[in-house]
Amino acid sequence: SASVGLYLQQRRREALLRRLPPRPIEIRRDEVVKGVMGLIGNTPLMRIESLSEATGCNILGKCEFLNPGGSVKDRVALKMIEDAEAQGMLHPNTESRIFEGTVGSTGISLATVARARGYETTIIMPDDVSAEKRQTLLCLSARVEQVRPASIVDQKQFVNLARQRALSFGRTKLPQKSLLDAMATPTPPGEDIVVASQVSTEDALHEAGARLALEESPRGFFADQFENLSNHDAHYLGTGPEIWRQTNGNVDAFVSGAGTGGTIAGTGQFLKEQKPEVVVALADPEGSGLYNKIKFGVMYDPREKEGSKRRHQVDTVVEGIGINRLTKNFELGLPIIDTAYRVTDPEAVAMSRHLVKHDGLFLGSSSACNLVACVRLAHRLGRGHTIVTILCDSGNRHYSKFWNDEYLRNANIPIDLSIVDDLIAGR
Ligand code: PMP
């Protein structure tokens, strides 16, 4: 049975690599689903009435806030864990520990899926993310470590720390080295740590998975959402096909922000493959380098003054999107992203309040950011087009910052709904 398992593992990996047409995904909401994982994905697509009426376009939001872990990241957590299991990096019910560096949502999704499959999680995040995310993680029995925000080159940066913690977890410490090196020497049982991003070839990953599958000891797994392409695949195989089916192919544009880049790259790629005319647009908060990358080909605005603070620091009330480096997941999206919109904090805040006032929609900051970009794009495309975006999470993840009027006042961010009127009027 071990060899059958390995054979199936290999077929699965090959299928993914050849990018076979994704398996059809059925909505089975009228059936009893199996546990929490049965609730992930297959989210509804909702027409946002106020913005659609005002712009003359169909502005449709994919309701990712309805996932059981409360965000779009549930899909990614499930796919990263499933792929790690298929590759022998995790064994269900072994109390292995999953490590991740995250601003919160991915941690909550990982903790949710992990518990449903018998794993523990350790989440490392910056100490300036909203308190309710930490609270939720603790309720989900995750171990939480918060660190000062730091640059990605700093060893104490949250993603780097998560990688280090994964590497030093287990019965024996294994010095960090490439998986290929590790494979050259026989490994005593219980010593393996696998870091997806360190693997240089798919073959090596498969080989290593096959070898590790024979061992059942607890180990640390660094989920690595930024570089792990299971993230992209979750959207390429899930979000993209769902949108295609839900719109019967009548989709003219797809708008998304990028934190890891998985959503825009995976969904955008799938839609573009079905219909090359689909416009894929990035919604990027102030301070992020991705807008510049799309517009100018470099992560900074070459017209800005040398040494501008904005070059190195994402300093915004919008959480979860905007980044100043190129991740492997975002890189996959580079060939298919057509354009980018810069969204300011006041615009995102105004949009979120507008949506409550006119639509009864209580959304998080990245969803609001996406919808600002949708209105801009609607003006560019003209009436009658269908624009799809992602409603990543609900406002209840954002009580202490984005939805806290006092916080916004202290940060000098106005709450001014006329900003949305101006956007809609194309001013
Ligand atoms: N919105 C929220 C609330 C998020 O947490 C994230 C992920 N960090 C995103 C959007 C962006 O998604 P992605 O990582 O796929 O780019």
Give me the DSSP letters along 287-356.
T-SHHHHHHHSSSS-TTSPTT-GGGT----S--S---SS--HHHHHHGGG--EEEEE-HHHHHHHHHHHH
| pLDDT at residue 4, rounded to an integer | 62
Q: What is the mean pLDDT of each run of 10 residues along the chain (427 residues)?
A: 60 52 52 91 97 98 97 97 90 84 91 93 90 92 93 88 87 40 46 43 49 54 96 97 97 98 98 98 95 93 66 74 94 98 98 98 98 98 98 94 96 97 94
* Three-state secondary-structure class, residue 181: helix
Ligand 1 center from residue 106 Cα (angstroms)? 8
| pLDDT at residue 89, rounded to an integer | 86
β-partners of residue 256 are 282
- Pick from 321, 323, 334, 398 the residue to mutate for probing ligand 1's pocket: most ligand atoms within 8 Å of its CB: 321
Ligand 1 center from residue 340 Cα (angstroms)? 16
* Three-state secondary-structure class, residue 98: strand
| pLDDT at residue 186, rounded to an integer | 46
| pLDDT at residue 302, rounded to an integer | 85
* Three-state secondary-structure class, residue 44: coil
| pLDDT at residue 139, rounded to an integer | 96
Ligand 1 center from residue 72 Cα (angstroms)? 7
| pLDDT at residue 11, rounded to an integer | 60
Please enumerate in sequence order all residues whose Cβ is within 8 A of that of 343, keeping only pairs 6 or more positions apart, or say none.
283, 284, 285, 286, 318, 369, 372, 373
Name the residue type at position 120.
Answer: E
204-244 tens-digit pLDDT: 554 555 444 434 456 789 999 999 999 999 999 999 999 99
57-70 tens-digit pLDDT: 999 999 999 999 99
- Pick from 316, 366, 397, 398 the residue to mutate for probing ligand 1's pocket: most ligand atoms within 8 Å of its CB: 366
| pLDDT at residue 202, rounded to an integer | 47
| pLDDT at residue 167, rounded to an integer | 85
| pLDDT at residue 300, rounded to an integer | 86
**Is the shortest distance between the CB of 364 and ligand 1 below 6 Å?**
yes
| pLDDT at residue 22, rounded to an integer | 42
| pLDDT at residue 359, rounded to an integer | 98
Q: State which H helix or E strand residue 7 sits in.
A: helix 2-17
Ligand 1 center from residue 250 Cα (angstroms)? 25
| pLDDT at residue 94, rounded to an integer | 75
Q: State the complex-level ipTM.
A: 0.97
Name the residue type at position 201.
Answer: T
Q: Whose CA is nearest to atom 2 of ligand 1?
A: 320
CA torsion sign for 164, 166, 172, 175 is negative
Strand ordering across the sheet containing 45-47: 45-47, 58-63, 386-391, 253-256, 279-285, 339-343
| pLDDT at residue 180, rounded to an integer | 47
305-326 tens-digit pLDDT: 655 545 445 678 998 899 999 9
Ligand 1 center from residue 109 Cα (angstroms)? 12
